[in-house]
Structure 1
Amino acid sequence: MATRSMQDWLDAYGVSHQNPTNKAIHWICVPTIYFCVVGFLYSIPLPDAPPFVRPHMLATLAVALVGIFYIRLSLPIAIGMILWSLFCLAVCRYLDAHAGLPLWAICTILFVAAWIGQFYGHKVEGKKPSFLDDLQFLMIGPAWLLSFVYKRLGIAY
């Protein structure tokens, strides 16, 4: 089976993301969902791990694996996604230390709200979410948004 290029993935993702309302919803909900997944992983306790790897070890490992996924498709997209992931880790660290609610609770509220938004957007679009055909599209959504930023900035990917 031939490997898809980043552009092939982005084009396939874009097929079910043409409606302006759905696109606008994705600009809010996709980064929120990504952040929440990082936050959930950050929140998993690792009581037997050395203190320097708690609590962020699983989230950091996931970010590294995400980086590998993107590197094999596009180095510029990988760099942008790794930077976004590091920002998410920093926000998780801040919220974990200073928020009035546990990080997992904040992420649960945001995650549910963002998925409601996503499914509403696809109802407006009239097309099912891409990830129902291939789970890898869950990783392509954030890259799809980043591709628009790169186009605007004139960065090739």
Structure 2
Amino acid sequence: MGEARTMQDWLDGYGESHQNSLNKKIHWIAVPLIFLTIVGLLWSVPVPEVLAINEWVNFATLMLIPVFIFYARLSLSLTFGMTLWCVFCFGVCYVYESSIESSALPLWQTCLIVFVLAWIGQFYGHKVEGQKPSFFEDLQYLMIGPAWLMSFIYDKFGIKY
């Protein structure tokens, strides 16, 4: 059994198939949108009454627990940044659901449309790159994409991860 990967190992591995500048720009738009829409889709799943403590206890908040465990074992610093991003995503979902008019699309429909469009963008970026998406190699890269972007923000501000 090999050594466990560090966060830097994961980020470097992800970065190997993200060298093209257009692909990187697409990822700066598509990856956050995909993450947000997954949160929104999970937020929209009806919660059984036994779990319906309040609107904040839902499948989005519950399903992110293993994601946070994955991040925390790699980098507490990036876990903090991803927590802030998740809180923002939760806020977007809450505000959207609280303020939509009857003629607007439900959250899940809006998220599904944006999710599909963002993935089309991702695949176009990888076509330009000439590389398959990293998650074809390892599904865990789906969780690394947002952390990879967060690492650039951390680097810009001199925050260690």
Q: TM-score, normalised by structure 2?
A: 0.93
Structure 2 gap segments, 5+ residues each: none
2:57 and 2:112 mapped to 1: Cα distance? 18
> % of aligned pairs identical?
57
After superposition, where does 1:103-114 map in structure 2 within 5 Å? 103-114=107-118
Partner of 1:5: 6
Q: Relative to structure 1, is the Cα distance of residues 61 and 50 closer, same or farther in structure 2, using a 3 angstrom cutoff?
A: closer
1:81 and 1:53 mapped to 2: Cα distance? 23
Q: How far has the Cα of 1:55 moved from its partner?
A: 6.8
Q: Which amino acid aligns with 1:103?
A: L
Partner of 2:85: 84
Q: Relative to structure 1, is the Cα distance of residues 18 and 109 closer, same or farther in structure 2, using a 3 angstrom cutoff?
A: same
Equivalent pair of 1:46/1:55 in contact (CA under 8 Å): no
Q: TM-score, normalised by structure 1?
A: 0.95
1:54 and 1:78 mapped to 2: Cα distance? 23
Secondary structure of 2:53's counterpart equals helix
Q: Relative to structure 1, is the Cα distance of residues 53 and 33 closer, same or farther in structure 2, using a 3 angstrom cutoff?
A: same
Q: Which amino acid aligns with 2:12?
A: D
Equivalent pair of 1:43/1:55 in contact (CA under 8 Å): no
Q: CA RMSD in A?
A: 1.3
Equivalent pair of 1:44/1:55 in contact (CA under 8 Å): no
After superposition, where does 1:26-105 map in structure 2 within 5 Å? 26-49=27-50, 51-54=52-55, 56-99=57-100, 100-105=104-109
In the alignment of these two chains, the number of paired residues is 157
Q: Encode CA deviations 1:28-84: one digit per residue, 9 max, x unaligned.
A: 000000001100110000242354344742111122222111000000000000110
Which one is further off, 66-75 or 53-62? 53-62
Asked whether 1:148 is paired with 2:152, we answer yes
1:133 and 1:51 mapped to 2: Cα distance? 37
1:127 and 1:51 mapped to 2: Cα distance? 43
Q: How far has the Cα of 1:118 moved from its partner?
A: 0.1
Q: Which amino acid aligns with 2:124?
A: Y
